[in-house]
Amino acid sequence: MRLDDFSHADAWGPEKIVTVSDTRTGMRGVLVIDNTARGMGKGGTRMSPTLTITEVARLARVMTWKWAAVDVFLGGAKAGIRFDPASADKEAALRAFARALSSEVPEEYVFGLDMGLTEHDAAVVQDELGDRRTAVGSPRELGGVPYDQWGVTGYGVAEAAEEAVRHRGLDLRGARVVVQGFGAVGAAAAGRLHELGARVVAVSTAEGAVHAPDGLDVPALLRSRDEWGDALVHHVDGAELLRTGEELTLPADVLVPAARQDVVDVGTARELSASVVVEGANLALTPKAQTILAERGVSVVPDFIANAGGVVAAAYAMDARSSVFPVEPDPIRAAVSERLRANTAQVLDESARDALTSHAAARRLAERRVRAAMELSGRVRSA
């Protein structure tokens, strides 16, 4: 999708692209509202020094499919700030971004959490705009649903992984799992996979990867992450240190790419050994890689199916914005497990039955729901 002219628009959207800037902080930002046929625009906000409008637009489209796939009545949207989240001026840039979008928030868009932002940042947005309705994912102490702190997205990735392994007639208990990326999603996925009995044999961060064929001590890794961050890979005893990316093709039964987009390309798709791939990150597999893995008989759980736990939690958070009662994590985790396991099974069944890639099957499921809403609201002519 290119955004240097009007050729990026298609039958689904985007409906609106808003770019903003602030001279004092150097902030550059964008909001993309992709499709609101099923509800107002909702999606996370990310901060990155290399962020592009095209990147945000691609992610907004993923949100359109993700909301429809979990059958929650919200529309696809995404926002992004081109700024370094490690900068001492992060809060100033975030506040400038929130002020610049005050005409759209919260009536057309509600801030959420994505790469580079935390529960604290959601609280900052609410404070800047003086309205609890403007952001979700804020701390529980402020009446929010801290789904990153609760690890809801990673929890759902692990639940989808177990369902995909079961779909192949196998057992996750004892299976070898590689998790690329040990951020909020990857770490929570590793923790839940460990609880389910899997052997997490490798994890990676921006500083490298660690590999132990007999399995890593996941609880120790989680404690080390709290202390060392990405540098945890330098503090793991009894494990081999590799370059980031080498873990993708290690001997494994399940691969969970939970870092950035397009990390599994054609070359990696041909070389990886896993029989199940579960996209913890959005757009982790390139389209050509998806085709190659389908041809190789690898079961792939697409991003907007596998990592939709966060949007289920965000849906609860949307309601919590107007409630005086705190939300508890257990009902959310139960809903995430139920919806994601059912969607994983349905998509893999349709993929096998109709000889489609799992991404095509998942998108067809989401498109049916979005198309029906567009027809019923008169946005397109009925077929």
Kindly tell me the burial class for residue 353, based on how many C-beta atoms sit within 10 Å of its own C-beta (0-12, 13-18, 19 or more).
exposed
Calculate the alpha carbon distances from 10 to 1, 33, 76, 222 in Å: 10, 13, 14, 43
Q: Are 237 and 250 in contact (CB under 8 A)?
A: no
Point out the catalytic residue in the list 42, 78, 90, 288.
78
Q: Where are the alpha helices (DSSP H) in 114-216?
A: 119-129, 152-167, 184-195
Q: Is 90 a catalytic residue?
A: no
Single out the residue of 278, 205, 274, 211 nearest to residue 244, CA to CA. Answer: 205
Peptide bond into 85 cis (omega under 30): no
Determine how β-strand 240-242 pairs with β-strand 109-110.
Answer: unpaired
**Terminal-residue alpha carbon distance, the chain:** 26
Q: Are 362 and 302 in contact (CB under 8 A)?
A: yes
User: Which neighbouring-strand residues pair with 22?
Assistant: 27
Helix (H, G, I), strand (E, B) or coil at 250: coil
Residues comprising the chain, all counted: 383
Residue 70's identity, in one-letter code, is V
Kindly tell me the burial class for residue 86, based on how many C-beta atoms sit within 10 Å of its own C-beta (0-12, 13-18, 19 or more).
exposed
C-alpha radius of gyration, the chain, whole number: 20
Catalytic residue numbers, as ranges: 78
